[in-house]
């Protein structure tokens, strides 16, 4: 079914009885060309691009519970391409360009809203580091501007310029960065993939892989055995659990990242702002809630919830950046399972097992990477070799010393 305002009006007069399923509930087949394990943003995007760009016909997405229930439904909705290292920046800029055209592609309003991302800094050293980053962004075809304090005051007068412990000295601004309605991304990709014939199977948990002479030939699931030529794993925080069934240990730790939303308020924060003297980022959703977050709690967790210490740290960062936020009220908080890698950058690669492919390790960058991750993973699955822009995200880079370490923290996931 194709969505547009005409249909909306027609159905309005028709008591909305003609709307069809956003995605079907198809019968599970016994065999597919490609199976994607994981019905989150990345898995669904991969399935869509496989069908749309790479003409693969027989595709299934297997989701353990309900689609979009993982990190794609739990994040703080920010999109941007302001990474430091060229290997990351080129990829995320590709993703941003895909975001810009997404709604037309998938015929679903994901509310892609490019209202700008401002990273404020508080010291000369930070400024230098942001200049390096801004230059890198421009070199990779993205947009970047350096704002002085007066410019920042004019667009965000409510930031703390008077009493801050770490006064703002300036900021790096990406105009094309912004926010997207996260649930709509999962539903939109599902809708679009489904229209191209992809089978989306919910409540289907993969319990094991089947191997034959060194290749992966299928998966055992809660709904039976399914054969496949290629199997792509896109399960984010659950990657270690899934891949342990293939006897693989990954350079990943799963951590809880908490996110928060306030009660709905009239528009007050026009774009995305990140704090430089602590980990804190915030935007305002179209419904009016302030959506914000900070650091991971810092310890391995699959519990999707964290502790009070983090709530306090995040709120402190928020008030340090914009004191007015103290009077807004926290309405809801939740946690996701973040797949933190040993260098803070993702993995899109084949494994040493024929037919088994891995897309994981997204750290804080998963949501904004959704379109590019889907595209590049689809490319890899379809063609058997990496897309140029994800060619650095290899699993063996840890062994061979080609790390992509933005923060320079080394092999400790909770520091990325």
Partner 1 sequence: MNKSNRTNFGLIDYNKKINFEFNDKAYVGFQGDTLASALIANEVKLIARSFKYHRPRGIFSAGSEEPSALVELIHKDYNEPNTKATTIELYEGLKAKSQNCWPSVKYDFMSINDKFSNFLTAGFYYKTFMWPSFFWEKVYEPLIRRAAGLGKLSTKGKARVSEKGFLHCDLLVVGSGPSGLMSAYIAGLSGANVILVEEDYVFGGSINNEEVIISKLSGKEWINFLISELKKLSNVRCMSRACVIGMFDHGNFGVIEKFDKAVNSKIDQMFWKITSKKAILCTGAIERLIPFQNNDRPGIMLSGSIRSYLNRWGVIVGKKIAIFTNNDDAYSTAKNLISLGINVVGIIDTRENPNINNLNIKVFKSAQVTNSRGKLALQGVNVMLKNGKSFYLECDTLGVSGGWNPNIHLSCHTGVKPEWQNDISAFIPGKNNISTHLKAVGAANGFFDLNQCFLSAENTVVQILSELNISIKKYDMPKTEEKSINIEPFWYVKNGNKRKWVDLQNDVTVKDIELAYRENFRSVEHLKRYTTLGMGTDQGKTSNVTGLAILADLSNKAIPDVGTTIFRPPYIPVSLDAFVGFSQAKQFKPLRLTPSHDWAKENGAIFTEAGLWLRAQWYMQKNENDWRVSVDREVNAVRNSVGFCDVSTLGKIDIQGKDAVSFINRIYCNGFSKLPIGKTRYGLMLREDGLVMDDGTTARLDENHFIMTTTTVNAERVYRHLEFCHQCLWPDMDVQLISITDAWSQIAIAGPKSRKLISKIIDPQYDVSNENFPFMACKEVSICGGFKARLFRISFSGELAYEIAIPTQYTKSFMSYLMEIGKEENITPYGTEALSVMRIEKGHVAGAELNGTVSAINLNMDKMVSSIKDSIGIVLSKREGLNLIDGPRLVGLKPKKPNEQIISGSHLFNLKDKLNADNDLGYVTSSCYSPTIESYIGLGFLKDGTNRYGDEIKVCNPLLNKEVLAKVCDPVFIDPNGDRLRG
Partner 2 sequence: MIIEHPLLGPRDIHEFVYVGDASLLNRPKWDSEDAEQKFYEYVYLRKNPAGIHHELWFHQQGDRSWLVVSRNTLTHEIIKVDLVLNIVKEKTL
- Interface contacts to partner 2, rule CB under 8 A: 238, 240-241, 244, 249-254, 298-303, 307, 309, 342, 398-399, 411-414
Decide whether 328 or 414 has the Cβ nearer to partner 2: 414
Q: Give the residue with the Cβ less far from partner 2, 218 or 317.
A: 317
**249 binds, options partner 1, partner 2, none, Cβ within 5 to 8 A by partner type:** partner 2
Strand order in the sheet with 272-274: 145-147, 170-174, 117-121, 272-274, 281-284, 289-300
Phi and psi, residue 225, nearest 5°:
-85, 135
343-374 per-residue burial string, b: 16 or more CB within 10 A, e: under 16: bbbbbbbbbebebbbbbbbbbbbbbbbbbbbb
**Nearest 10 degrees: Cα torsion 339, 341, 345, 346:** -50
Residue 237 or residue 371: which is nearer to partner 2 going by CB? 237
Q: Which distant-in-sequence residues (6+ apart) come within 8 Å of 103 by Cβ? A: 109, 110, 112, 188
Smallest separation, CB 301 to partner 1 (Å): 10
Query: Taking the complex as a whole, how short is the minimal distance between the CB of residue 398 and partner 2, in angstroms?
Result: 4
238 or 390: whose CB is closer to partner 2?
238
Q: How far apart are CA 116 and CA 175, in angstroms?
A: 4
Instruction: Tell the smallest beta-carbon distance from residue 408 to partner 1 (Å).
Output: 2
Q: Which of partner 1, partner 2, none binds 240 (CB below 5-8 Å, type-dependent)?
A: partner 2
Residue 286 site contact among partner 2, partner 1, none (CB < 5 to 8 Å, cut-off depends on kind): partner 1
Contact between 255 and 247 (Cβ < 8 Å)? no
CB 196 within 8 A of CB 52: yes
Nearest distance from residue 138's CB to partner 1, in Å?
5
Q: Which does 223 bind (CB under 5 to 8 A by kind): partner 1, partner 2, none?
A: none
Minimum distance from residue 382 beta carbon to partner 1 (Å): 25
Closer residue to partner 2 (CB): 126 or 359: 359
Nearest one of 373, 20, 378 to 195, comparing CA atoms:
20
């Amino acid at each position: 079914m194709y969505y547009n305002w005409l249909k909306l009006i027609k159905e309005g007069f028709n008591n909305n009885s003609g709307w069809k399923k956003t995605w079907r509930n198809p019968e599970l087949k016994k065999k597919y060309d490609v199976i994607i394990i994981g019905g989150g943003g990345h898995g669904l995007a991969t399935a869509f691009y496989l069908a749309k760009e790479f003409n693969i016909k027989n595709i299934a997405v297997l989701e353990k519970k309900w689609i979009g229930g993982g990190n794609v439904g739990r994040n703080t909705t920010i999109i941007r391409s302001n990474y430091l290292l060229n290997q990351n920046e080129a990829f995320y800029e590709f993703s941003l360009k895909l975001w810009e055209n997404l709604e037309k592609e998938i015929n679903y309003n994901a509310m892609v809203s490019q209202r700008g991302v401002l990273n404020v800094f508080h010291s000369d050293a930070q400024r230098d580091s942001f200049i390096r980053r801004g230059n890198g962004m421009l070199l990779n075809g993205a947009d970047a501007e350096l704002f002085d304090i007066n410019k920042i005051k004019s667009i965000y007068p409510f930031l703390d310029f008077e009493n801050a412990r770490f006064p703002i000295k300036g900021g790096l601004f990406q105009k094309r960065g912004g926010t997207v309605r996260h649930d709509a991304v999962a539903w939109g990709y599902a809708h679009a993939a489904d229209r191209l014939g992809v089978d989306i199977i919910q409540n289907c948990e993969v319990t094991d892989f089947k191997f034959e002479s060194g290749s992966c030939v299928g998966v055992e699931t809660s709904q039976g055995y399914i054969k496949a030529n290629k199997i792509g794993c896109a399960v984010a925080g659950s990657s270690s659990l899934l891949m342990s069934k293939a006897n693989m240990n990954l350079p990943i730790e799963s951590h809880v990242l908490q996110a928060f939303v306030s009660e709905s308020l009239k528009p007050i924060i026009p774009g995305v702002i990140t704090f430089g003297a602590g980990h804190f980022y915030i935007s305002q959703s179209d419904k009016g809630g302030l959506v914000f977050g900070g650091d991971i709690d810092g310890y391995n967790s699959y519990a999707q919830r964290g502790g009070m210490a983090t709530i306090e740290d995040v709120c402190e960062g928020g008030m340090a950046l914009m004191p007015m936020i103290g009077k807004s009220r926290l309405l809801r908080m939740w946690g996701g399972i973040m797949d933190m890698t040993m260098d803070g950058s993702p993995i899109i690669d084949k494994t040493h097992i024929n037919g088994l492919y891995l897309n994981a390790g997204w750290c804080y960058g998963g949501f904004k990477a959704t379109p590019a991750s889907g595209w590049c993973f689809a490319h890899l699955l379809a063609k058997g070799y990496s897309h140029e822009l994800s060619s650095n995200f290899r699993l063996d880079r840890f062994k061979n010393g080609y790390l992509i370490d933005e923060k320079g923290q080394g092999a400790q996931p909770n520091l990325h």
